[in-house]
Structure 1
Amino acid sequence: MTPTWLTADFVQEILRTTHQNNSISVKNIKIEPAIPKGNNFMGVLYRVHLDVNDNEVKKSLIVKTQAQGEYMNMVTETCGFFPREIRMYAAMFPAMYKLSQGKLDNYIISPMYFPCSMKDVIIMEDLVSQGFQMKERRLQFDFVHSVSAFKTLAKFHAMSMAVNVHDPTMKDHFEDFYDNDVLRSIFGRFLASSLASLAKKLEKWPGQEYYAAKVHKISENVTDTMAELSKPGPLMVLNHGDIWVNNILFRYNGNEITDVRIVDFQMTKWASPANDLYYLLYSSVQEQVREQHADTLLSEYHATLSDTLTALGCSQEIFSLQQLHQEMKDKIFYGFLHASLTLCVTLAEPCGVMDTESFELKDMDDGHANPIEQSEFSPRFREVFPKVLRYFEENGVL
């Protein structure tokens, strides 16, 4: 249901305030869902088409509101997802871009933000209207798009490191969820129930029964494992936290990628770059690309991170490619976790995506409020995931 407050007068006031121009007039608006079901779980997105100044300008915005359903409302409220994302747009990105202006090319990596006084409401430019496109999630990224995504992520990480050099207090606003006892409990229960659900499904998956007990054992200690991994280490950056195919948009000139934007910053936290790198690698990179070019993608990431830090006058923050590979090895559990929780969602058929709006609070205690329990495993997932399990067994996770 469209919010009753989302009117032409409301949008007009937002535009006037942002552009400091009281002559802006919005007469008509048209509201529609911005994305199909299954493409966003932490909020509801509306695309708002506007006629500005007596139809002189056609404009569209994205309005993001709190997720529907009692379980998702509780999670987003308790975890402070909206305040965290608003801090990104209101404080972190302005700091990043101020440092980058005149030193970096194409340093804008986020949509334009329109400040709003309403609680748990975020208003952004509509990137689609600016020519950006979202790739079809089930197809994932080919090599070219993977390289572009990893290089953009590197730029984001590097700019966050530069901000930290100039203002170390900024990272205090993006604590790791495992640093907070309440949030640690919520995330721990979610991860434990997700892996327990995976173990149950593996028990009934012909040929994969062998892994069920191993995954179940991991589920029993996952909260402590993640708390240990989340402790501050030598390599720390601002993580996006949900860096997958649906949160990265590309703009093209013909077939050439000319610009990239990242969206959805509700899960940002200060942590190891390995967390984001594994998330992107296993949620969004095509299987063949991941198997054949993972090292190349890490090299592209590292080169861009190093170049960006050098351009920003922070070359002292650069870590070596060898250090990055060691970090990935030390934190390989991130890879197993992200592969287990995201691949089934990325590769789900349209009819098999989870419906978070239907989650109730009791589902948290019953272990039903997780992607493994709610998603129907697609044929493609059933083809890919056994190879993933074997990989993590060979590398000592299982």
Structure 2
Amino acid sequence: MAQQTANDIASVPWIDKTFILKALRNSGDEKSNVTDVTVRYAVASGENYTSTIYRVEVTLDDGRQRSLMVKGPSLGEELATFAKMAGIFWREGGMLADAIPKMEALLDAAAPNKLHRFAARCLHYGCENNVEFLVMEDLAHSGFKMADRKRGLGLRHSLLALRSLARFHAASHALLRQQPELADGYDNMWRKPNHNMTEFIQGLVQSAADVCRTWIGFEKFVDILEKLKLKIRDLCIEINDPKPDSFNVITHGDFWVNNMMFRYENGDPVEFRMVDLQISHVASPAVDLQYFLSTSVSDDVYFNHRDLLLREYLFSLEETLQLLGIKAPPREAFLAAMDEHGIMAMFGALCIKPIALTPSTPDLEASNTGDHSGIAFMYQTPRIKRWLQTTLQEFSRKGWLKEQ
């Protein structure tokens, strides 16, 4: 199949006038009838893993235009099968239509009209004719844009994202206190069987080991990485479980630059929305923080401003918890949790950051079958080489990367 690009016309028989009208009626915010729909791909091939995202331009019978986002199954059969088995559409639909509105209501009650929303509004989700789907508002229509994953987020973007994440974590913690049964619906997504993801992760770590073999002074990491390759997913599974008697939240689960949108005024980011909450689960907030820092920020922010980011996150978390009448966890416990979740930083640095820095997305389908030639090239670029060498040394100093 030819590579799709954003804005290419998409032929999707199930996204028709009847489907869109049902979504509009379900949301209760539209009484007009639909006269026409045009479906386009919202992102290019490779920019989304477990689903396909469409932008649907809707013409109503009163002449008005609306723009909606529809998420449907991946065009790859194996990925579509995994998504259905793991229930990611139902999980994201539950987050957007139930959990997040409740979290926003808690904040609005504590501080009316002072806090921004967390995510797009969900109009409809479910399964029809064996097709799982989500219908959401189009954030681009409100001026939101994605940042450039290849550049990484600058300091202003990073601070805005982490302040929102802190409020999200605080509100989710408050909601879990009110409705502890919600945790049952947000179990550890890492525990869902996913042979394809295991193959992909192992291929990336092996590629890092292979390239270390060619760098003077980095040969010591070859054996360590090859052993880590065999257990990194199991380590990630374990660390993403919520810990009893610890400060747990509903995490985003995949909080990196491609799952964020920003609205700008005079060139500066002023408002933030998170997208793709399909693997949200209850865990330590350190899961999201370590993953974000190792995947999404610019080199300058990563090496020079991480302490500032953590201080701002903690200030926003503590401020929001106080607003909600909840005592914040001790900072010492939070910093200890960050250290305990170092495996998430290593996963992000070894398996996600190289993809983020690479202009052309590697062939995920091929790598899932054991062909890793499409991802090995990433480590040959100067920037990724510098990134990998620096972070390997850092992780080694912290004691995270050692003989297994």
TM-score normalised by length of structure 1: 0.89
Counterparts of 1:105-144 in structure 2 under 5 Å?
Answer: 105-118=114-127, 119-144=131-156
**Whole-Å separation in 1 of the counterparts to 2:379 and 2:82:** 23
Partner of residue 26, structure 1:
34
- Aligned residue for 2:51? 43
Gaps spanning 5+ residues in structure 1: where? Answer: none
Q: Which moved more, 1:35-44 or 1:119-128?
A: 35-44
Aligned to 1:214: 224
Secondary structure of 1:183's aligned partner: coil
Tell me what 2:4 maps to: none
Distance 1:375 1:124, change over 3 A: farther
Matched-pair contact (CA < 8 Å) for 1:194–1:371: no
Alignment correspondent of 1:96: 103
Q: Which residue of 2 aligns with 1:16?
A: 25
- Equivalences for 1:62-73 in 2 at 5 Å? 62-73=69-80
CA shift, 1:274, in A, is 1.2
Q: 1:223 to 1:284 in 2, by over 3 A?
A: closer
User: Cα distance 1:244–1:125, how it changes in 2: closer, same or farther (>3 A)?
Assistant: same
- 1:227-246 correspondence to structure 2 within 5 Å: 227-233=237-243, 234-246=246-258
Shift of 1:207: 5.9
Consecutive unaligned residues in structure 2, runs of 5 or more: 1-9
Q: Is the 8 A contact 2:290 2:341 kept in 1?
A: no
Deviation at 1:375, TM superposition (A): 5.4
Q: What secondary structure does 1:285 align onto?
A: coil
Q: Which has the higher helix share?
A: 1
Q: 1:71 Cα shift?
A: 2.4
Q: Within 2, Cα distance between the matches of 1:141 and 1:371?
A: 26
- Give runs of aligned pairs for residues 1-398 of structure 1, distance below 5 A: 1-19=10-28, 21=30, 23-55=31-63, 57-104=64-111, 105-118=114-127, 119-178=131-190, 180=191, 183=193, 190-204=200-214, 208-233=218-243, 234-313=246-325, 315-316=326-327, 318-349=328-359, 352-356=360-364, 358-359=365-366, 364=368, 366-368=369-371, 372=375, 378-398=381-401
In structure 1, what is the Cα distance between the partners aligned to 2:75 and 2:69? 17
Distance 1:80 1:198, change over 3 A: farther
Does the CA-based 8 Å contact 1:194-1:370 persist in structure 2?
A: no
* Alpha carbons 2:151, 2:298 under 8 Å: kept: yes
Provide the C-alpha distance between the structure 1 equivalents of 2:231 and 2:301, rounded to a whole number of angstroms: 32
Name the % identity.
28
Quick one: distance in 2 between partners of 1:53 and 1:312?
Answer: 45
Determine the C-alpha separation between the residues in 1 that align with 2:183 and 2:288: 17
Cα distance in structure 2, aligned partners of 1:248 and 1:319 = 27
Give the distance between the partners of 2:353 and 2:279, measured in 1 at CA: 18
Distance 1:219 1:353 in 2: 21
Relative distance call for 1:37 and 1:223 in structure 2 (3 A) is closer
TM-score (norm 2): 0.88
- 2:335 partner letter: H
Q: Which residue identity lines up with residue 213 of structure 1 in the other structure? A: D
Change (3 A) 1:374 1:17: farther
Q: Give the aligned residue type for 2:363.
A: D
Q: 1:374 & 1:109 partners in 2: Cα distance?
A: 36
Cα distance in structure 2, aligned partners of 1:74 and 1:276: 26
Count of equivalent residues:
385
